[in-house]
């Protein structure tokens, strides 16, 4: 495509040079011809929304691992757990002091500067010993805030029960809370905090990437058409039998001979290849917030839609009636209530007709013409689906 366009542009430049020598009407005619060709190029060029392979797939073995631990945050300004309400905080504090050689037997602890917390982190792929990762801290008891606290050394374990990192450091929070006798002001959630680079990796997750003889690519949005396009793009770059579609969510790629023991280089060479992902016709509805998202491929058969509500509005207004200047003796000021009733039968609502194979733009435009809101639109979409005219899947959250 690019080479063909370059050849045509070269030909046009040559014609321009000839026209400049001839001058006059030839130059004017050539200007018109040039404009026509430019418009033709723009018209026939397909509109594509290509994305890189690395943005729509996950490579086998390159994955995160979740870490979790239990620890204590100390140094709080009276905003920690109440030990008489949270016995696990008291027991954890006693165990911590006993490990340091301080006996707390027969001692009733009353400190308010300690909070029990869960510590979570994500171990990125190929994290090496000594590297640092971010940590999130959340309270377990009735602590009011973690502001100013320090997390004591906390082992972070994975699902296999092994310790992969140790977290410690000052806790930073993104909110605050201030209160007085009759008012309280808060921003964010002061019982959640984080430690930037707060944990040190102590164990690596073993995975020999370069020893793989084949690599599987997992699509983040499984689709058989998209999987085939990915395989075609890889085969066009590496060879006809390099990649094959296993299922709508997996493409298997055989490691070519020249990339043996160089799988990382192979990934770098194919992850920038661009493909055009396909989309299923789907309408996603969030009932809680009234949010509606429709895919580009949503189609509607010929259907007529009408939407209108009967609204009865009753309004009462109090009016004061005072005696006139020549009113008889004993006349008093009275209050009367005036009632007005109005009925709206939706006379301004009209019937909208959507033609067969109406596009997303036509569907939205037709429904907007009815003046419907998001809540009514949800009911209309469900009704069109029941009528068999909506050619899309509806997913309700």
Q: What is the pLDDT of residues 263-293, one digit of tens each?
A: 889 999 999 999 998 878 888 888 777 788 8
Return the percentage of the chain with pLDDT > 70, whole number. 68
Question: Quick check: is 338 in a domain?
Answer: no
Q: Does one domain contain both 77 and 160?
A: yes
Nearest to 388 by CA among 306, 299, 307, 308: 299
Q: Does one domain contain both 293 and 165?
A: no
Total domains, the chain? 3
How is residue 185 written in tokens? 């002001």
Q: Radius of gyration (Cα) for the chain, nearest Å?
A: 35
Please state which of the ranges 226-235, 272-281, 368-377 shows the lowest mean pLDDT. Answer: 368-377
- CA dist 75 to 86, 146, 196, 199, 254, Å? 18, 9, 19, 19, 56
| Domain limit, last residue, from 201, 223, 249 | 201
Question: Quick check: is 334 in a domain?
Answer: no
Residue labelled with tokens 């435009």:
365
Number of other CB atoms surrounding residue 144 within 10 Å: 20
Helical axes 2-22 vs 25-44, angle rounded to 10°: 170
What's the pLDDT at 247? 92
Q: Does one domain contain both 84 and 196?
A: yes
What's the pLDDT at 112? 87
Q: Does one domain contain both 225 and 97?
A: no
Q: Does one domain contain both 105 and 185?
A: yes
Report how far residue 283's alpha carbon sits from residue 297's, in angstroms, rounded to the nearest whole number. 10
Q: What is the pLDDT of residues 208-224, one digit of tens each?
A: 888 888 999 999 988 99
Confidence of residue 50 (pLDDT cuts 50, 70, 90): confident
Q: Does one domain contain both 286 and 190?
A: no
What's the pLDDT at 343? 47
How close are the terminal C-alpha atoms of the chain, in Å?
A: 44
Beta bridge partners of 200: 132, 166
Do 155 and 99 form a contact (C-beta atoms < 8 A)? no
Q: Does one domain contain both 248 and 131?
A: no
What's the pLDDT at 19? 54
Distance from the Cα of residue 376 to its chain's centroid: 25
Question: Quick check: is 106 in a domain?
Answer: yes
Confidence of residue 387 (pLDDT cuts 50, 70, 90): confident
| Domain limit, last residue, from 176, 201, 226 | 201
How is residue 129 written in tokens? 């010993």
Report how far residue 149's alpha carbon sits from residue 79's, in angstroms, rounded to the nearest whole number. 10
55 secondary structure, DSSP code: G
Is residue 91 helix, strand or coil? helix
Report how far residue 82's alpha carbon sits from residue 99's, in angstroms, rounded to the nearest whole number. 22
What's the pLDDT at 251? 94
Is residue 291 helix, strand or coil? strand
pLDDT tops 70 at residue 227: yes
Report how far residue 188's alpha carbon sits from residue 174's, in angstroms, rounded to the nearest whole number. 6
Q: Does one domain contain both 80 and 193?
A: yes
Q: Phi/psi class of residue 309: alpha, beta or left (left: φ > 0; alpha: ψ in -120 to 50)?
A: beta
Q: Does one domain contain both 132 and 182?
A: yes
Tell which wins on pLDDT, 350 or 390: 390
Question: Quick check: is 342 in a domain?
Answer: no
Q: Does one domain contain both 176 and 74?
A: yes
pLDDT tops 60 at residue 31: no
Q: Does one domain contain both 229 and 155?
A: no
Question: Quick check: is 239 in a domain?
Answer: yes
What's the pLDDT at 357? 65
* Domain residue limits at 303: 282-309+348-396
State the average pLDDT for the chain. 79
Q: What is the pLDDT of residues 94-144, one digit of tens each?
A: 888 888 888 877 777 888 899 999 999 999 988 999 999 999 999 999 998
If you count DSSP H runs as helices and E runs as strands, how many of each does the chain have, helices first? 7, 24
Which residues, including other chains, have CB under 8 Å from residue 149's CB and lie 6 or more apart? 73, 74, 75, 76, 80, 115, 170, 171, 193
What's the pLDDT at 12? 58
Question: Quick check: is 392 in a domain?
Answer: yes
Q: Does one domain contain both 181 and 223?
A: no
Tell which wins on pLDDT, 366 or 147: 147
Q: What is the pLDDT of residues 346-357, one digit of tens each?
A: 555 555 665 666
Nearest to 271 by CA among 238, 249, 240: 238
Distance from the Cα of residue 55 to its chain's centroid: 14
Q: How does 116-138 read in b/e, with b if 16+ C-beta sit within 10 Å?
A: bbebbbebeeebeeeeebebbbe
Do 214 and 255 form a contact (C-beta atoms < 8 A)? yes
How is residue 214 written in tokens? 């084949």
* 14-27 mean pLDDT: 55
Question: Quick check: is 14 in a domain?
Answer: no
| Domain limit, last residue, from 275, 292, 321 | 275
Question: Quick check: is 30 in a domain?
Answer: no
- CA dist 336 to 314, 317, 325, 329, Å? 16, 8, 20, 21
How open is the CA angle 68-72-77, to the nearest 5 degrees?
135
Q: Backbone phi, then psi, for 81, in 5-degree steps?
A: -70, 145
pLDDT tops 60 at residue 185: yes
What's the pLDDT at 118? 96
Q: What is the pLDDT of residues 290-344, one digit of tens each?
A: 788 877 777 777 767 666 654 445 455 667 677 766 666 666 777 776 656 554 5
């Amino acid at each position: 495509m690019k080479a063909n366009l370059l050849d045509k542009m070269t030909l046009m430049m040559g014609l321009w040079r000839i026209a400049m020598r001839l001058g006059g009407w030839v130059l004017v005619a050539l200007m018109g011809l040039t404009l026509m060709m430019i418009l033709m190029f723009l018209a026939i060029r397909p509109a594509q929304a290509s994305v890189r392979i690395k943005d729509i797939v996950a490579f086998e073995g390159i994955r995160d691992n979740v870490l979790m631990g239990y620890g204590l945050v100390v140094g709080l300004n009276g905003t920690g757990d109440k030990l008489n309400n949270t016995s696990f905080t008291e027991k954890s504090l006693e165990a911590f002091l006993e490990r340091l050689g301080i006996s707390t037997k027969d001692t009733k602890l009353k400190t308010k500067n300690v909070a029990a917390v869960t510590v979570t982190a994500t171990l990125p792929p190929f994290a090496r010993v000594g590297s640092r990762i971010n940590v999130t801290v959340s309270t377990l008891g009735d602590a009011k805030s973690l502001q100013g606290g320090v997390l004591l050394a906390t082992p972070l374990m994975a699902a296999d029960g092994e310790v992969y990192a140790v977290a410690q450091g000052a806790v930073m929070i993104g909110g605050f809370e201030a209160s007085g006798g009759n008012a309280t002001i808060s921003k964010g959630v002061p019982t959640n905090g984080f430690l930037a680079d707060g944990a040190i990796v102590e164990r690596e997750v073993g995975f020999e990437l370069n020893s793989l003889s084949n690599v599987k690519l997992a699509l983040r949005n499984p689709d058989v058409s998209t999987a085939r396009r990915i395989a075609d793009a890889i085969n066009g770059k590496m060879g006809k039998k390099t990649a094959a579609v296993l299922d709508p969510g997996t493409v298997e790629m055989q490691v070519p001979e020249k990339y043996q023991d160089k799988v990382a280089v192979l990934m770098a060479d194919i992850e920038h290849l661009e493909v055009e992902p396909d989309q299923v016709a789907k309408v996603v509805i969030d009932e809680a917030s009234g949010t509606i998202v429709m895919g580009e491929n949503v189609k509607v058969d010929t259907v007529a839609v009408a939407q209108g509500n009967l609204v009865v509005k009753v309004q009462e207004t109090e009016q004061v009636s005072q005696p006139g200047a020549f009113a008889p003796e004993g006349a008093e000021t009275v209050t009367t209530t005036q009632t007005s009733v109005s009925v709206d039968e939706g006379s301004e609502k009209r019937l909208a007709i959507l033609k067969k194979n109406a596009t997303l733009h036509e569907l939205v435009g037709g429904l907007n013409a009815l003046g419907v809101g998001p809540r009514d639109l949800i009911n209309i979409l469900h009704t069109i689906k029941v009528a068999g005219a909506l050619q899309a899947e509806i997913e309700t959250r």
